[in-house]
Structure 1
Amino acid sequence: MTAQKPANAAADHPPVSFGKVGVIISNLGTPDGTDYWSMRRYLGEFLSDRRVIDYAPWKWQPLLQLIILTKRPFSSGEAYRSIWNNERNESPLLTTTRDQYLALEKTLKDTYGDKVEVDFCMRYGNPSTQSVIENMQAKGCDRIVFFPLYPQYSAPTTATANDHAFRALMKIKWQPSVRTVPAYFENPLYIKALAATVKETYANLDVEPDVLVTSYHGVPVRYLTEGDPYHCHCQKTTRLLREELGWSTDKIQLTFQSKFGPEDWLQPYTVEDVARLAREGKKNIAIMAPAFSSDCVETLEEINEEIKDAFIEAGGETFTYIPCLNDRPDHIEMMAEIIKRETSGWL
């Protein structure tokens, strides 16, 4: 809708745009480059988030600024360089999230036409949440559905994405109405899409894996005891996936990756468990990451390089990584169905 003066407004009233519904999908984020300073800016924003690292700033920030951010940008930059989309000069997460947005935009425009605007943002890095929300309002969106792309709820993912959206709204004089999409870990379309990726991958393998490992990003055990439901959501996701596949319990298992810091994190740890499987004679495994909606450094580099190396070094033979749902048509269909539900009364 083009900007126009409200009916019966004074002659000097500024034109305003209104009447549309905005849909924003939000992903974790990405550095702008793999060089030291790009990585330091990104890691500094990410690791300064109190939802991610909730230690007292007076204790955490000196350690972060003086030690971690002096060394970690080098190792993280190396990890990103191994998977970087050199053609577009961007991370795979940015490439895939843009592809998801474009596919979702086409689906929603085909259904709702010009009544809806679609975009994507990142919690850390660019495009920023604030810039996308402001752009949505400028296009006439007075109602916004904010969709964090995290199937399982956790404070360091879903909650911080929502926090950042509401911080952006705090700077807007005339706030749009906003609905946030809840966790969708038990959505039947999500489970069916996960199962489809497994079936398709297995159908193209010469040797069927002995075990399917579902690897989720870890969090400290303390988060569970403090009320974060993430662990329970992960457990249920794997159980529903197993039931959808019609498998016995010995064919699939759950692990957690990406441990950081000295605390006890959710276990078993993926990197240790795949090595255990190899030593116990499970020489052929497949692995997937149901908590990630898009392939990223944690899947393409950590799983398909570091964790794979641990499995092979322990005597494993065949390691098959099953990609995230990314911009698969069934994943986009799931997003569209969730948005249809969440825009009830709006569209």
Structure 2
Amino acid sequence: MSEKTALLLLQMGGPDSIDAVKPFLLNLFTDRDIMKIGPAFLQPFIARRIVKKRAPKVEGYYREIGGKSPIRELTEAQGRGLQELLGPGYRSFVAMRYSRPSTLEALSAIKKEGISKVVALSLYPHYSRATTGSSVNELQRILKESKVKFSVTYIDRYYDHPLYIEALAEKVQQGLTAFPDPKKVQIVFSAHALPQSFIDEGDPYLAHIQETVRLVMERIGDQAPHQLCFQSKVGKVKWLEPSTGDMMKSLAAQGCKDILMVPLSFVSDHIETLHEIDIQYAEEARELGIERFVRSESLNNSPRFLACLADLVQKAEK
């Protein structure tokens, strides 16, 4: 077997074409780590009905951002950057939870290269059973079925890593330069929502998000006030609040004219940043009378973020 170490980047994924939207959504809605819709044996049937109803609208969203998600290319670029930082002893692979390359395809590629040592690196900084938990469960299921022995190390959270915090703070600082008076700006951290029941059952996601915001604002200082809210709610169950839409309405009612939207829990651009924030929320902001609505850049290939990932890998292997 090769002496190289495989860097297995765990990410949600996204459709790489309009035709791939329905399969992507079906994979998402049949995952009981994310949501339990009725009894397990009925969930695939119910999921197909949900997807049939939602797919046309979601396909329209993807058409507006170029016909696909850029998340695979961005994740592969992050892998290449991480590989360069760590040196020739490492080889990066991508495992998408709901699209391609799948976990099975990624492990097959690792096996083909004769690598037995794997560092599974979650690209969700804040742990939740719905994100990292689901990706790890899928990886462990495939590993159990595999006839190849892999030695796997897991990195499943880094919401408070100094370099991750620095990378986010850097993007916020850059975003503030777009405003004539930063002290009049409301910094709105928008994290992906999660059903409230997850938190009630002990999921640490909310606590991780809150700590990230605290640490970022500790670095930013008192340049501008800040808020935390949640986007991308699906279904009728109670989700984390306030929603991003409600937060924007509240700020507008208070006379706020400048908003810097900071996508939190997303380490690369995808539908939630490129469409939900850049198009939907930007339009809502105009309608609410908000004059300057700016989104801070996603981390993507941020050198500090890649340095954070490299540090995590090096420490995990000691």
Per the TM alignment, residue 54 of structure 1 is displaced from its structure 2 partner at its CA by 1.9
Per the TM alignment, residue 307 of structure 1 is displaced from its structure 2 partner at its CA by 1.6
Equivalent residue number for residue 26 of structure 1:
10
Per the TM alignment, residue 57 of structure 1 is displaced from its structure 2 partner at its CA by 2.8
Per the TM alignment, residue 138 of structure 1 is displaced from its structure 2 partner at its CA by 2.3
- Which whole-Å deviations, capped at 9, do the CAs of 1:262-319 have from their partners, x for residues lacking one? 1111001001111211121011110111200111101110011112222221121110
Q: Distance in 2 between matches of 1:31 and 1:131?
A: 16
Q: Distance in 2 between matches of 1:169 and 1:163?
A: 10
- Indicate the SS of the match to 2:78: helix
| Alignment of structure 1 residues 262-301 onto 2, 5 Å | 262-301=236-275
Partner AA of 2:276 in structure 1: E
Per the TM alignment, residue 59 of structure 1 is displaced from its structure 2 partner at its CA by 5.1
Q: Distance in 1 between matches of 2:284 and 2:233?
A: 15
Q: Distance in 2 between matches of 1:98 and 1:116?
A: 14
- Which whole-Å deviations, capped at 9, do the CAs of 1:109-161 have from their partners, x for residues lacking one? 2xxx2x32222221111111111112112212221000110010011100011
Partner AA of 1:28 in structure 2: M
| Alignment of structure 1 residues 208-287 onto 2, 5 Å | 208=182, 210-247=185-222, 251-287=225-261
- Which whole-Å deviations, capped at 9, do the CAs of 1:37-90 have from their partners, x for residues lacking one? x21111101110011112323554443223x12121111111111112x6xxx4
Q: Distance in 2 between matches of 1:323 and 1:201?
A: 7
**TM-score, L = length of structure 1:** 0.87
- Indicate the SS of the match to 1:325: coil
Could you tell me whether the CA contact under 8 Å between 2:175 and 2:297 is conserved in 1?
no
Equivalent residue number for residue 12 of structure 1:
none
Q: Distance in 2 between matches of 1:236 and 1:58?
A: 38
Could you tell me whether the CA contact under 8 Å between 2:192 and 2:230 is conserved in 1?
yes
Q: Distance in 1 between matches of 2:156 and 2:77?
A: 22
Q: Distance in 2 between matches of 1:64 and 1:133?
A: 27
Per the TM alignment, residue 211 of structure 1 is displaced from its structure 2 partner at its CA by 0.6
Q: How many residues in Structure 1 have an aligned counterpart in Structure 2?
A: 316
Identity of aligned residues (%): 31
Equivalent residue number for residue 48 of structure 1:
30
Q: Distance in 2 between matches of 1:207 and 1:82?
A: 32
Matched, 1:71 2:53: yes
Partner AA of 1:45 in structure 2: N
Could you tell me whether the CA contact under 8 Å between 1:211 and 1:253 is conserved in 2?
yes
Could you tell me whether the CA contact under 8 Å between 1:238 and 1:253 is conserved in 2?
no
Which stretches in structure 1 are left out of the alignment for 5+ residues?
Answer: 1-16
Matched, 1:116 2:90: yes
Q: Distance in 2 between matches of 1:117 and 1:100?
A: 12
| Alignment of structure 1 residues 127-138 onto 2, 5 Å | 127-138=101-112
Q: Distance in 2 between matches of 1:83 and 1:106?
A: 30
Could you tell me whether the CA contact under 8 Å between 2:10 and 2:97 is conserved in 1?
yes
Change (3 A) 1:59 1:314: farther
Per the TM alignment, residue 171 of structure 1 is displaced from its structure 2 partner at its CA by 2.4
Q: Distance in 1 between matches of 2:303 and 2:3?
A: 29
Equivalent residue number for residue 305 of structure 1:
279
Q: Distance in 2 between matches of 1:297 and 1:333?
A: 25
Equivalent residue number for residue 165 of structure 2:
191
Q: Distance in 1 between matches of 2:45 and 2:251?
A: 40
Change (3 A) 1:182 1:58: closer
- Indicate the SS of the match to 1:21: strand
- Indicate the SS of the match to 1:156: coil
Q: Distance in 1 between matches of 2:161 and 2:171?
A: 16
Equivalent residue number for residue 80 of structure 2:
102
Q: Distance in 1 between matches of 2:281 and 2:246?
A: 9
Could you tell me whether the CA contact under 8 Å between 1:21 and 1:117 is conserved in 2?
yes
Equivalent residue number for residue 289 of structure 2:
315
Per the TM alignment, residue 174 of structure 1 is displaced from its structure 2 partner at its CA by 2.7
Per the TM alignment, residue 32 of structure 1 is displaced from its structure 2 partner at its CA by 2.9
Q: Distance in 2 between matches of 1:124 and 1:166?
A: 16
Could you tell me whether the CA contact under 8 Å between 1:26 and 1:123 is conserved in 2?
yes
- Which whole-Å deviations, capped at 9, do the CAs of 1:195-241 have from their partners, x for residues lacking one? 11111222243353521000000011110111101111111111111
Give RMSD over aligned pairs: 1.6
Equivalent residue number for residue 4 of structure 1:
none
Q: Distance in 2 between matches of 1:253 and 1:107?
A: 35
Q: Distance in 1 between matches of 2:41 and 2:286?
A: 42
Which stretches in structure 2 are left out of the alignment for 5+ residues?
Answer: none
- Which whole-Å deviations, capped at 9, do the CAs of 1:150-204 have from their partners, x for residues lacking one? 0100111000111111122122213211011021001011001111111122224
